[in-house]
Structure 1
Amino acid sequence: MVKTAFCLCLLILPSYLFAQARQDTISAYFDLGISAIKKSEQLKIDSLVYYDILQFGTKLRIIGYADYVGSEEANVELSEARANNIKSYLISLGMSDQDIEMVIGKGEVKRDVPNGNAGYRKDRRVDIVPGGFQHSPDTPKKTPAKTIDLSKVKKNETLRLENVYFEGGSHYWLKQSIPVLEQLLAALQQHPTVRIRIEGHICCDRPRDGIDFETGEFELSTQRAKAVRDYLVKNGIAITRLEYHGFARTRPLRDPAEDQMMNRRVEIRILDK
């Protein structure tokens, strides 16, 4: 199908294709409140497949989003519908269902400064992330999580949350992180007087914090720490017991060139017991 659509594919500018070839994530954009794929985005995907920039036979993750316009529940459904429509379109082009490792809707992208009823076009999108979980550098081998015992951690000491890992360039954690977060929640429930600060860190030699592609800001370590804080608050921990802070790459455990994964981490610091 794609090969016979060569003339249509040429409608996509080569400069755009070259830009996509240099990126890890391919994004398809949608109209406000609409889950159907626009013709222009179908042609974009056709072109990326034709020129082997989006290659079948590799693992993919498909992640849908919505802007803030509309209710939170409706936006979750909308983002899921967008992601599923992209999946269906890729399969119609010849992609194997087994190569699509994840299809998920993240709901709305939070914005501190709304843009009225117009919303934000770049938040109405689906990201196609090549590589899947098996080949992602941000996905280490899963190892059993240790029980978190806050009674053994002294005031002002830190405790690293082992096996808490995030999607590349994002404050969304990978699913193997959930058991550790549940253990942290249980530990705070068992010790109701403990106050903590959640500290986010990233790897690599950067002059400032990493960019969070969800917000477009250089605040990746801060947003990852905040995401853990928000999870705890959502599950009943008083917000007054929780602080968060991002330290970017200023406190590496190891030489970033030798062990990037070790430095992509979240720690908790005991502020009061």
Structure 2
Amino acid sequence: MKKTVYLWVILFSLVMQGQQKVELYFDFDKYDLNPQAIQTLNSWIASGKNYKVTKLFGFCDWKGTNVYNDTLALRRVNTVYRFLQKQNILVEKNIEIRGFGEDFKQSPKQEENRRVTLIYEEVIPQKIVENPPPKTIGPTFKQQMNLAKKGDIIKLEHINFLNHSAKFVPNSEPILLELLCVMEENPTLKIEIQGHICCDTENKYGYIAEARAKAVYSYLITHKIDRKRLSFKGYGATRPIYKIPERNAQEEDGNRRVEIMVVER
């Protein structure tokens, strides 16, 4: 089925103002980087400039179903995202990640539609201050998961939902991709996804916690993670980090969370 969204052309033109891009092309029905794409990325990195990646957009040709192409587009984005991580390329903290599948103005040349568009900006180096205070940088979620043992619980940072719902907001995509990477790179890993909410003294809204945990579960299944490796559970407000009622917004944010428990490695 072929769909064309002309509005996307206008949106993309606006996005690109003041930014630059790299186009990475993929083989038919593949999401691994081919030699040409790797060479393109390596040449871009070797230019010696300071770059920050702000957006990753994935695309497919029109062959296949919409659902299949949406997933394939995101898997292509995921491949590029992991490559950037391994090369220590600076990535925007709230990077915009989108999989357009086949829903865009397609080129007559199908090979041009199988791509990821990497959008970046040049970073001006800051003036070096003599004897700057040391910065403490904690381990990433992926590093924590790789070190975690059976029974350990790791918080999914920067995952956000619309108010009173289980629908992700767009800036949740990077941490979801990071979780997906962990599951793909550790094929024996089994996890329980745990949902928690805040502010609920009578536990009337526990179903929201479970729905949010299930949303993460569904995301992983959609991206081909075996459901036998996954489970989910909503704990409502029964396991708060801070006593309920919370005293401030910071404590509310601390209680409102999704966590990953290692069930088996």
Q: TM-score, normalised by structure 2?
A: 0.45
Tell which has more relative contact order, 1 or 2 (C-alpha 8 A, sep 6+): 2
